[in-house]
Structure 1
């Protein structure tokens, strides 16, 4: 059995135990044992990333150490970008993309984040974790967005098959100053996904108020 296959089996077993909800000490002990086995397998799979990060002078046990730290790690950004496209389990890949949600990654990780998002499976009611996984990519883009991302962001947010995960990308798009942005936001007000439509309306309302305040300040 490969490490990838082992992780998938542990993932399923742990998920099943969580959904059953432990009802006694024995159940809780079994779930905790499964959690530890899963965590150790993920740490093993993520070892190449940790080793390469160590080469730039930063010691981590897991990529999530970056996510949960207040310390800056600009030296690690190129390594994280390099490993984003590696065939890691989604827990590691999500940690990588969340770790890239920092200003130091702006203009560096944008292309990699968008390309990896486009490779992800579409949202599936039978697999609710996909929505949250995909959302993390949009959240990162809302932090590192640059004006050069305009066309790709428009393509993502206007593709209804991208579902609710578009909300983060909409936030990213709204940070770019372009007439196209307002046009797309108005288009999204009528999106079939109510959450997406509501997000577009909220952003447009904020932009309208900001414009009104700016106009009032200009008056003599």
Structure 2
């Protein structure tokens, strides 16, 4: 994991640097090389997850193949949930959280997602954090979770958006949201 994280950070540094190159052809060539390199890094990172999913009948190449698919995949929820707590790179974790944002995810999945949020997982990764919040807000069906969702609101305006949208669906949720936002503002 550490070597893959180092590679990902190196990729990010080089990605920023290519845009400074004035030679357009060289910049395009280097961009394409970097995109290929990032794909290789993420494929290496996902290997254990994809293997576990294939054991359950998955035929895709990446967890991202599950995101926004119309097909249900109830047999994949358990391995997705088990791998969600592992130390994957942020893009892989984001794909896992997005893949768990489906009606087949149950209360056990919700508990794991909330634990990940409370433990501050990926706090510095805004897209991963948003995907986690979105999964929690989606899986927490019904009004019995409104208080719990309200308690999860924090100062991160980007990541809390799914919670705000979820709470705004009912009068009780709007009251919880107003109270919690007042607490945060103080």
**TM-score of the pair, normalised by structure 1:** 0.71
Runs (5+) with no aligned partner, structure 1:
124-129, 194-220
Instruction: After TM superposition, give the deviation of residue 27 of structure 1 in Å.
Output: 0.5
* 2:66 alignment partner, SS class: helix
> Which one of the candidate residues 168, 193, 199 is aligned to 2:162?
168
- Report the equivalent of 2:26: 26
**In the TM superposition, what are the counterparts of 1:188-203 in structure 2 within 5 Å?**
none
TM-superposed deviation, 1:15: 4.3
- The question of whether the paired residues in 2 share the 8 Å contact of 1:142 and 1:169 is answered with yes
Larger Rg over CA atoms = 1
* Partner Cα separation in structure 2 for residue 182 and residue 29 of structure 1: 51
- Following the alignment from structure 1 to structure 2, what is the Cα–Cα distance between the partners of residues 21 and 112? 45
| Ranges in structure 2 where 5+ consecutive residues have no aligned partner | none
TM-score by length of 2: 0.82
Match of 2:149 in 1: 153
- Quote the offset at 1:192 in angstroms: 7.3
Aligned to 1:81: 81
Q: Where in structure 2 are the equivalents of 1:53-68 lying within 5 Å?
A: 53-68=53-68
Closer, same or farther: CA 113–22 of 1 in aligned 2, 3 Å: farther
RMSD: 2.7
The alpha-carbon distance between structure 1 residues 15 and 101, as it changes in their structure 2 partners (threshold 3 A), is: farther
Give the structure, 1 or 2, with the largest relative contact order (CA under 8 Å, sep 6 or more).
2
